[in-house]
């Protein structure tokens, strides 16, 4: 007998305190759009004619200026020139002067040795040709759009507001009101 009493008591309490949903239509007093903004980068390409260095075969020589000082290229000529210059400089001077002459000879040898293979060659010289050079920059556009609507309405003498994604289609708003009924024992 106790086993059947517990489920009956649970069902009776659920039914006694259940909520009833009621649909009510209330007038809308105001609708206000809510704006958001968006930033868009729009590419803008500008082209103009410029003189650019080209090889004899017409291929463009790449321009390497990234804002950083370019270090001299390391070549076998630099290394050999520095070694030979250091040995020759070591033959002169005495004491601390010998060390200074060795260093100076290495620096001069480095510089001269790097120029060994850079003798002008008429086939490797470049010339300038007028070509169209295009660059791309970006224009920032700010756009505003309606992201939602704030809907103001009155219900039972109290002013409320809610937010909707789409604007109301009429001048009334449908509300679902939950009312609860309790049974007194």
CA–CA gap between residue 141 and residue 145 (Å, rounded): 13
Mean pLDDT of 4-30: 65
Greater pLDDT, 108 or 150: 150
CA–CA gap between residue 167 and residue 148 (Å, rounded): 8
| pLDDT of residue 3 exceeding 50 | no
pLDDT confidence tier of residue 185, bands split at 50, 70 and 90: low
Mean pLDDT of 83-105: 82
| pLDDT of residue 13 exceeding 70 | no
* Domains in the chain: boundaries: 17-39+142-180, 73-123
Mean pLDDT of 147-153: 95
Beta strands 172-180 and 127-155: pairing type?
Answer: unpaired
pLDDT confidence tier of residue 9, bands split at 50, 70 and 90: very low
Q: Residue 171 — φ and ψ, nearest 5°? A: -95, 20
Using alpha carbons, select from 179, 185, 183, 181 the residue that is nearest to residue 21.
179
Mean pLDDT of 153-170: 92
CA–CA gap between residue 144 and residue 54 (Å, rounded): 48
Sign, CA torsion 167/163/38/144:
positive
């Amino acid at each position: 007998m106790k086993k059947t009493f517990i489920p009956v008591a649970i069902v009776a309490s659920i039914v006694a305190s259940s909520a009833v949903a009621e649909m009510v239509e209330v007038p809308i007093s105001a609708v206000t759009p809510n704006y958001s903004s968006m930033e868009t980068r729009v590419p803008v390409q500008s082209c103009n004619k410029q003189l650019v260095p080209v090889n004899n075969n017409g291929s463009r020589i790449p321009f390497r200026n990234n804002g950083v000082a370019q270090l001299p290229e390391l070549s076998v000529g630099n290394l050999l020139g520095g070694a030979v210059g250091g040995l020759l400089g070591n033959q002169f001077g005495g004491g601390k002067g010998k060390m200074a002459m060795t260093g100076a000879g290495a620096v001069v040898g480095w510089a001269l040795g790097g120029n060994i293979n850079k003798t002008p060659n008429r086939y490797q010289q470049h010339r300038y040709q007028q070509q169209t050079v295009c660059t791309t920059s970006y224009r920032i556009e700010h756009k505003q759009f309606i992201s939602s609507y704030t809907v103001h309405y009155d219900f039972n003498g109290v002013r409320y507001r809610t937010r909707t994604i789409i604007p109301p289609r009429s001048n009334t708003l449908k509300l679902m009101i939950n009312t609860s009924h309790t049974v007194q024992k």
